Amino acid sequence: MAPPTETPRDALTCRVLPQMVLSTGDASSKTAPPAPAPSSLDVAGRAKLRFEVRGNAIVTGGAGTLGFEAARALLEHGLSGLMIFDVIPAQASAKIAELQLEFPSAKIAFRQVDITDDVAVANGVEETASLFGSVDVLLCFAGVVGCQHALEMSAAQWRKTLDINTTGSFLVAQAVAKQMVTQSTGGSIVFTASISGHRVNYPQPQIAYNVSKAALLTLKSGLAAEWARYGIRVNSISPGYADTILNEGDGIAACRQVWAERNPLGRMAAPSELTGAVVLLASSAGTYMNGADIVVDGGQTLF
């Protein structure tokens, strides 16, 4: 096989770079200021409107603890339709039944999706739009965690972590953004980064995970700049250690103790404590938040 043809260096001087287009922000754009609340609303009505979540959402990793709590919070604030993307059908079916019982008027569905498969992701987003009529919110909670000394990490372990956490998040965001552009309605995309993207964890070594989450922070910023003109806001949350099944077991008891001792609040987060930031970014209250990252860690990153 012949080696790939390289572009001559002299030809690089003739290239034309694509350029971002920013919104004008005027009334005809996708980023105009929101209309004022109707004067007929009372105090309770204005308060409800402020954090109203409209339309339909896709939540990746929605059968996991954090994704499930976030999905429930969106439904509590008015979400009409919820599509859960996950790779564990048995776990998802029980969660969907629970939510459907609690929110009988909402449309709730599940699709088994490997977020590293761009074709499966595109088909899942298309099915969601067909079923619900639109996709207005995306929450990316699907991800993996691995703790391994860097000297001992295999190439396969490294690639798997970045493929799921970073590339998978991009593929879903890209597919959803294409749908939002087609709808011409804008929307909100929220990545789940981590305090691990802001600083090195201690005491456990987890270099691939940290890099994957730091990359998500840059991905969030780049997409927020590129997609704003379509009315698509892209933000992220950076949770600290949360009290989920990933942090259970006697084998990591010593690590849990270190995490708690190095946190000003002295404990890990309850999953419900992350939902406020999610609702803010997905709701009417977050219409001027774009490219932001909200750290929810009890002060873990202060030290």
What tens digit of pLDDT does each residue of 8-31 get? Answer: 777 778 888 899 999 999 999 999
Phi/psi of residue 182, each to 5°? Answer: -60, -40
pLDDT along the chain (303 residues), means of 10: 65 86 95 92 93 97 93 97 93 89 96 97 98 98 93 96 98 98 97 96 94 98 98 97 74 86 93 96 97 97 92
Q: What is the pLDDT of residue 13?
A: 80
Q: What is the pLDDT of residue 222?
A: 98
Calculate the CA 16 to chain-centre distance: 33
Rounded distance between C-alpha atoms, residue 193 and residue 248, angstroms: 21
272 is catalytic: no
Q: What is the pLDDT of residue 3?
A: 59
DSSP H or E segment with residue 83: strand 81-86
95 is catalytic: no
For 229, which DSSP code? G
Give the Å distances, CA to CA, from 210 to 21, 162, 194.
Answer: 31, 10, 8
**What structural domains and CATH numbers belong to the chain?**
45-298 (3.40.50.720)
Q: What is the pLDDT of residue 272?
A: 94
Q: What is the pLDDT of residue 247?
A: 67
Q: What is the pLDDT of residue 28?
A: 94
107 is catalytic: no
Secondary structure of residue 110 in the 3-state scheme:
strand
Q: Contact at 8 Å (CB) between 231 and 177?
A: no
Strands 187-192 and 137-140: parallel
For 168, which DSSP code? I
Q: What is the pLDDT of residue 10?
A: 77
| pLDDT, tens digit (0-9, with 9 covering 90-100), for 39-60 | 899 999 999 999 999 999 999 9
Secondary structure of residue 89 in the 3-state scheme:
helix
**CB-based burial label for 21 (10 Å; 0-12, 13-18, 19+):** exposed
Beta bridge pairs of residue 189: 138, 234
Beta bridge pairs of residue 191: 140, 236
Residue with tokens 């989450």: 213
Phi/psi of residue 106, each to 5°? Answer: -90, 150
Q: Which one is catalytic: 80, 188, 194, 212? A: 194
Q: Contact at 8 Å (CB) between 165 and 192?
A: no
Name residue 274's amino acid: L
Q: Which one is catalytic: 95, 134, 169, 209? A: 209
Rounded distance between C-alpha atoms, residue 119 and residue 252, angstroms: 37
pTM of the model: 0.93
Q: Which one is catalytic: 188, 213, 241, 283? A: 213
